Amino acid sequence: MSSELTTTDEQAGPCPVVRTIEQIGSEWRLVVLHELQNGERRFNELKRATDASARTLSRVLDDLQEQGFVTRRLEEDAPVASYYRLTEKGESLCPVFDAIESWGEEWLAEADA
């Protein structure tokens, strides 16, 4: 019998907050998800809005698409363009962003004063 004690939480792995941050927590993922809250955007619109390089943005969008936060639509008529929008899973983050924004307005403004 082992003398080490483990809790159910430790056996289950990281808490949901940590797991969520691992999926959406990179700076670029957060910026892209936030930009897509206002609806479908073309790749070049996202590139201009985020100031990300094409390679970084492409990688981030691929990751978000793979994780089910974003969907891609290809418009093959000239000019060819890729459009991205939030999925239902991605849209479910909108209230989270609103809450973070409210928190930031209250507490970050206080810290800057």
pTM summary value: 0.77
Q: Which residue has the higher pLDDT, 107 or 65?
A: 65
Tens digits of residue pLDDT in 18-76: 888 887 778 899 999 999 999 999 999 999 999 999 999 999 999 999 999 999 999 98
Q: Which residue has the higher pLDDT, 46 or 110?
A: 46
Question: How far is residue 69 from each of residues 4, 61, 63, 95, 106, measured CA to CA in Å?
Answer: 39, 9, 9, 15, 28
The sign of the dihedral angle between the CA atoms of 24, 49, 82, 34 is positive
Query: What CATH number labels 16-104?
Result: 1.10.10.10
pLDDT at residue number 91: 97
pLDDT at residue number 5: 46
User: What mean pLDDT comes out for the span 72-97?
Assistant: 94
Pairwise CA distance, residues 37 & 73, whole Å: 16
